[in-house]
Every structure is written in C-alpha cells, then in structure tokens.
Amino acid sequence: MSETAPLLQLDGVNTHIGPYHILQGVELMVPRGGLTMLLGRNGAGKTTTLRTIMGLWHASAGRVRFDGAEITAWATPDIARAGIAYVPENMGIFADLTVRENLLLAARAGDIDEGRLRWVFGLFPALKKFWSLPAGFLSGGQKQMLSIARAVIEPRKLFLIDEPTKGLAPAIIMNMIAAFRELKQTAATILLVEQNFMFAKSLGDTVAVMDNGRVVHSGSMAELAEDRDLQHRLLGLSLDSHQ
Amino acid sequence: MTDIDAGELAKSRHYDWAPLLLLPLLAIAALPLIGSLSTWATLTAAGLAMGMIIFIIASGLTLVFGLMDVLNFGHGAFISVGAYVAAILLVPLSGLLQADSLALNILALLALIALAMVATGLLGWAFERVIIMPVYGQHLKQILVTVGGMIVAQQLIIVLWGPVQLSFPLPTAFRGAIVLGDVAIERYRVIAVVVGFLVFAGMLLVLNRTKIGLLIRAGVENREMVEALGYHIRRLFVGVFVAGSTLAGLGGVMWALYREELTPGMGMEVLVLVFIVVIIGGLGSIGGCFLGSLLVAVTANYAGFLAPKVALGSNILLMVLILLWRSRGLYPVANR
C-alpha cells in the first residue's frame, strides 16, 4: 500500500436510515498521519458518515476503503480490528464499569501496556485519580476524556472522533486541544467531527465540509480559516463571531 | 492517601446498600406476625432455599434479557426438560441414589445434573439458532415464538413421559432435617442454599474477574459500543444463552427435588416467579436477580403461612411496591 494513498476513502457512499436518505453520495479522502476535520451544520450527515465507516449503519450504495481494503460490508468488530478506533458523540462509556475496566476492555491485546497507560495518564490525569471508580460517577468532561483514552489505549491506524467538545466547559476544551496536539505527535490519523470552529481551526490539517448528506468542500484547514466568505457560505459563520 | 485509594473510597461511598436491607427488614417484620420462632425459622429457611433455586433459574434469563434485549418466555422449557431428562437416570441409578452413603448419593445426583445441563445446553443452542435468531429486535414476535417454543416442548414432554405427575425422590442422605433446638431445617434446603451460593459466587467470579465477564457486563449496558471496540457480541450472546439454558436445567433438577415431583407444566409455573425476579432485580443485574429471588421466595413462604388465600398475589404486590420505589428495579443497569 502506497504511503501517499489516503488511509480512508469514501466513494459515492449513500446511507439510508429507515425511510430517510441521509448520506447522498459522500466523497471523502482522509490522508495518512494528519487530522482531518469534518464540519457542517446540524443534520448535515457527519455522525452518519462516521457510523457508516464503522459499519454501525451499512452503506446502501458506494464504497468505503480503508488501508487498501474495501470494508463497506464488513461487520463492526472486524472494522475495529482492522485498526479503526471510534469515539461516539454520546461517548459510549460503560457507566457501571470502572475507569480501569473501561480501558481494559479496549485493550484487545490483553493487559494494558504500562508505558501507554502512563502516556494516557499524562494526557488525562483525572483518569488516574478515579481509576477504581465506576465511570458513571465521572463528570461530563471526565467521561469524554475516558472515551478518548479508551480509543488511544492501544495504537490504532485511524481514530474517528465525534464532537469531543460538545457540552464541555472552555477550560476542559483547552485540555482537549492539548491532548489532541500530543496525539498528533504520534503520527496518528484522525477524522474528527466538530461544531466548534475555533477548536477545528486550532487542530485541523485538512477539512471536509458536509451539507445535506454530501461533502461540499474539501481542502486545507488553513485555507478555510483564512477565507471568511467561504466559511460564511459553507458553515453560516464567520471567525469573528467565534473569537 | 494515593489517588487510587481516593477512587476506592469514593466507590465505597457510592455503593447502594439500601436494597440489601429489604430482606432482613422483611424477616424481622414477619416474626411478630408469625408468632413462633421455630415456625418463622422454618419458613425463612424454606424461603431462602426456594429463592436460591429461583436464582439459579433466573440468572441466565436476566443476562439474556440484559445482553440482547430478548424476551425469552421459552426459558420455562429448559426447566422442565432439564428435570425430565435427569429423571431418565432415576431408575438406572436408583441403587446409588437410595444407598446409605452420602458420597454415592452425591455421585448419582451429579450424574443426573450433568445429563440435565448437557441436554438443556444443547436445547438452548438449537432454540437460539432456530427460534430466537430470526426475531432479534422484535419483541412482539419474540413473545409469540418463545411461548410457542415452550408449548411445543411441554407437549413433547407429555408425549414422551405422559401427562401425569411423576415422583422425583430425594437421595437418601438428603432426606430428613437438621434440628437446632426447636427449629428443624430440612437437609435438602441447606444443600439448595449452598448450591445457590456457589452458583452466585461462580457468576460473580466470572463476571468480575474475567475478560468474558467484563464483556458481558459491558454488553448489557451498550451492545453497540462493545462491537465498536472489536468484539463479536453475537458469539458472546450464544455463549450466554447456552450458559443460561444449562443453569435452567440445573435449576429444573433442583426444583424437582425441592417438590419431589415432576409435572409437564412445572417450567411454566415457576417462570412467573422468575420473570417477577428479573423485573424487580433490574434487567441484566445479577446482584439484583439474587436479592430479588430471595425476596420473592421468602415473601411467598410468609404469605402462604399467614394468608394462604392472598399468597398467589403476594409477589405481584411485592413487585408493585418495589417498582413504585425504584421503577427500574433494585439494581438497575446503567444505560438501560
């Protein structure tokens, strides 16, 4: 597999949920080793795109290719085992399991690697403090940290992360930005859905913008951050209102 | 204090002890109503023994409910089939069962139980493949087909063994009572309590100390996320379903020994209590199931003595009161 080929590629992906036609021909490329932001208004199809990649909803047409293999019809566990970690919008924390057990479950190799755990504690110190506490007792921000820690507790090829800043206080968002910056240092490939444009601007290398179930723009994040007309047209916002 | 110690302390502070007080409170409240200490002790011991057997039967059902959201009314078939299949060995092993040797009695009983568990395990596997699998996610159809499956199993028992009540005698060493002052407790009830505790301890050990157990507990909360972490929950479910069926088979043998008789409808009769237990315990909760089983059985025994005419409704009343207090059961599983 060529190192220049995109790690993840969606070609003409359509997804139906019941009678609703949500994704209507999504074309998306996620290059290796960077952070791609998936932006768009509410209802544009961002979450559905991530869930379709993970096989939680199957594409009714089109192809999903990951690391050289077509995974369109694969079962979710097989997609995860191919090297994709997923952090859902609702975090998917097992509230009755302790922080330790949540992480242990994500460590498919068996025990948690000590070095990796120290690195995770460095990213999110609160998790060490509440190590033996059921995850249901954590605050919203701590749950989000646990959800991301669970995804990164073992090395994966691709991280799909859905709105990690949703409902979080600004101070915790700053912590998140620092954590993602450190994750980027590991040359991880990340596809991140986000509504917070400042967050997206500070982290994104490349960007794709969705509207009505399609990708309507893709390019570099820096380019979009500098083009206020484009932001206004694609997202209905300007950076001024977020600064 | 280290950070991790702080976490342990916080956990202990958050443990929900209130439901555990219900059983002693119920027992204490019943004592003055019953009047006689020896009668009260006998009823309580009988209730605990019956509760343990109900727990063995119900524990598999609550995991199936919790893990895959399947309403399996066919669970009663495993109880009956387990007991009837075990009865096949009653005549060939009668010498061992009626011998004046505890060791020989236990050996024979273990053979009966092993046969019952193998048979119900295989039946459970086939039941899941043929009856349950086509109706995942469709509750109404699940009720219809699993009730249908249980009726078919019941009729097959009638065809093979006849409709009449059969005797299922206790092994010689299990008969009689242990007398402590004025209190006489039947030996078999003590054995049932011990077996129930062993099953409960075994389940807690598997659920809390193994990766499989961790996956089951996680799957009860959020199936989709378990799959997204790379685990095939479908395979896990088949395993849990078969394990639940084998436990129902064990429970069937123990229930038959408790009553010392077999009837084709015995599974259906006890299933009502089992569903009450699963509901008041909290769907998918093993701890809740254990406590619920004891509460249901002890209540039934006290009510049967104090007011036989309302005994049948006593468990419905218990369920209503508990659901008014905690609408999702005594120990609800998060996210359900």
Q: What is the ipTM of this complex?
A: 0.91
User: Chain A contacts of B4, Cβ < 8 Å?
Assistant: 128-129, 131-132
Q: With cut-offs at 50, 70 and 90, classify the pLDDT of residue A3.
A: low
Q: Which of B1, B2, B3, B220 to mutate to test the interface with A (most CBs of A within 10 A)?
A: B3
Return the HEC string of chain B. CCHHHHHHHHHHHHCCCHHHHHHHHHHHHHHHHHCCHHHHHHHHHHHHHHHHHHHHHHHHHHHHHHHHCCCCCCHHHHHHHHHHHHHCCCCCCHHHHCCCCHHHHHHHHHHHHHHHHHHHHHHHHHHHHHHHHHHCCCHHHHHHHHHHHHHHHHHHHHHHHCCCCEECCCCHHHCCEEEECCEEEEHHHHHHHHHHHHHHHHHHHHHHHCHHHHHHHHHHHCHHHHHHCCCCHHHHHHHHHHHHHHHHHHHHHHHHHHHCEECCCHHHHHHHHHHHHHHHHCCCCHHHHHHHHHHHHHHHHHHHHHCHHHHHHHHHHHHHHHHHHCCCCCCCCCCC
The CA distance from A42 to A57, in Å, is 19
> Residue holding tokens 């259906």?
B268
Q: Smallest CA–CA separation between B19 and chain A, in Å?
A: 17
pLDDT tens string, chain B, 336 residues long: the values are 344 444 554 555 567 889 999 999 999 999 999 999 999 999 999 999 999 999 999 998 988 887 778 889 999 999 999 999 999 999 999 999 999 999 999 999 999 999 999 999 999 999 999 999 899 888 899 999 999 999 999 999 999 999 999 999 999 999 999 988 888 889 999 999 999 999 999 999 999 999 999 999 999 889 999 999 999 998 888 999 999 999 999 999 999 999 999 999 999 999 999 999 999 999 889 999 999 999 999 999 999 999 988 887 899 999 999 999 999 999 988 655
Strand partners, A192: A37, A161
Nearest Cα to Cα of residue B265 among B13, B84, B131, B7? B84
Flag whether pLDDT at A109 surpasses 70.
yes
A81 neighbors B230 (Cβ within 8 angstroms): yes
Q: Which tokens belong to B332? A: 């609800």
The CA distance from B37 to B40, in Å, is 5
Nearest Cα to Cα of residue A26 among A62, A77, A75, A1? A62
The CA distance from B67 to B62, in Å, is 8
A120 neighbors A194 (Cβ within 8 angstroms): no
Handedness of CA A132, A135, A139, A142 (dihedral sign): positive
Overall pTM > 0.90:
no
Residue A235 phi/psi, 5-degree rounding, is -115, -5
Query: Count of alpha carbons within 13 Å of A77, Cβ hemisphere only?
Result: 12
In degrees to the nearest 10, what's the CA dihedral of B51, B55, B58, B63? 150
Residue A37 phi/psi, 5-degree rounding, is -90, 135
Tell me the CA distances in angstroms from A71 to A5, A59, A75, A162, A214, one per residue in order: 16, 10, 8, 20, 20
Q: Smallest CA–CA separation between A240 and chain B, in Å?
A: 38
What's the pLDDT score for residue B333? Answer: 81
Q: Smallest CA–CA separation between B232 and chain A, in Å?
A: 6
B166-167 vs B261-262, strand pairing mode? antiparallel
- With H, G, I as helix, E, B as strand and everything else as coil, classify residue A98: strand
The CA distance from A140 to A149, in Å, is 14
Q: Which tokens belong to B255? A: 């229930």
Nearest CB to B7 within list A56, A101, A133: A133
What's the pLDDT score for residue B1? Answer: 38
Tell me the CA distances in angstroms from A221 to A37, A198, A199, one per residue in order: 8, 11, 11
Structure confidence by residue, pLDDT tens digits, A46-96: 999 999 999 999 999 999 999 999 999 999 999 999 999 999 999 999 999
User: Chain B contacts of A95, Cβ < 8 Å?
Assistant: 221, 334-335
Neighbours of A198 (CB within 10 A): 16
A132 with B333: Cβ contact below 8 A: no
* CB–CB contacts below 8 A, A to B: 87
B205 neighbors B211 (Cβ within 8 angstroms): no
A86 with B228: Cβ contact below 8 A: yes
Q: Which tokens belong to B49? A: 């023994």
Largest CA distance in chain A: 50
What's the pLDDT score for residue A101? Answer: 95
A131 with B10: Cβ contact below 8 A: no
Residue A218 phi/psi, 5-degree rounding, is -145, 150
Nearest Cα to Cα of residue A134 among A95, A184, A166, A79? A95
Q: With cut-offs at 50, 70 and 90, classify the pLDDT of residue A173.
A: confident
The CA distance from B48 to B301, in Å, is 9
A84-87 vs A158-162, strand pairing mode? parallel
The CA distance from B325 to B82, in Å, is 36
B218 with A104: Cβ contact below 8 A: no
A80 with B224: Cβ contact below 8 A: no
B229 neighbors A80 (Cβ within 8 angstroms): yes
What's the pLDDT score for residue A195? Answer: 84
For B171, which DSSP code? P
A54 with B222: Cβ contact below 8 A: no
B8 with A132: Cβ contact below 8 A: yes
Question: What mean pLDDT value characterizes chain A?
Answer: 90
B214 with A97: Cβ contact below 8 A: yes
B177-180 vs B183-186, strand pairing mode? antiparallel
